């Protein structure tokens, strides 16, 4: 069913019970780098600074990606999905996005019950 939010030209994120939306991050080449969450404050900070800021559920605080590592994500474009509960950030990453050192958090392909690292 199509709801007003699906076709609206006003930004009106459908935050969940925890005040969060999903934030999907990819680079300009279309590689998926990471998935995180944003609350309203993180969205404002991201728009204001041009660098991706999330809500860290594990730390319970705002978390600017790269605040420690320096591997910030410069936002090229932000989009929102039909029901406005997910954001898509297209970014220029300053370095590896994953805390393991991989360029992308999605560095393993699923093969049956196993995982195969992808170059």
Q: Can you tell me which of 26, 55, 65, 66 binds a copy of itself, judged by CB under 8 A? A: 26
Q: Does 49 bind a copy of itself (CB under 8 A)?
A: no
Q: Can you tell me which of 18, 48, 110, 119 binds a copy of itself, judged by CB under 8 A? A: 110
Bridge-partner residues for 64, per DSSP? 53
Binders in 74-93 for a copy of itself, by CB under 8 A: 77-83, 86-88
Q: In terms of CB distance, is 69 or 82 closer to a copy of itself?
A: 82
Q: Does 69 bind a copy of itself (CB under 8 A)?
A: no
**Size of the residue set binding a copy of itself (CB under 8 A):** 45
CA distance 31 to 39: 24
13-40 per-residue burial string, b: 16 or more CB within 10 A, e: under 16: bebeeeebbebbbbbeeeeebbebbbbe
**Phi, psi dihedrals of residue 60, rounded to the nearest 5°:** 65, 35
Q: Does 62 bind a copy of itself (CB under 8 A)?
A: no
């Amino acid at each position: 069913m199509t709801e007003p939010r699906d076709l609206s030209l006003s930004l009106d994120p459908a935050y969940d019970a925890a005040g969060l939306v999903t934030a999907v991050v990819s680079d300009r080449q279309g590689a998926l780098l990471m998935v995180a969450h944003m609350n309203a404050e993180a969205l404002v900070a991201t728009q204001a600074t041009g660098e991706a800021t999330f809500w860290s559920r594990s730390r319970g605080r705002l978390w600017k990606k790269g605040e420690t590592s320096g591997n910030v994500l410069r936002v090229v474009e932000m989009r929102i999905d039909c029901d406005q509960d997910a954001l898509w950030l297209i970014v220029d990453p300053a370095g590896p996005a994953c805390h393991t050192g991989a360029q992308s958090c999605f560095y393993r392909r699923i093969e049956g019950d196993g995982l195969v690292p992808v170059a």
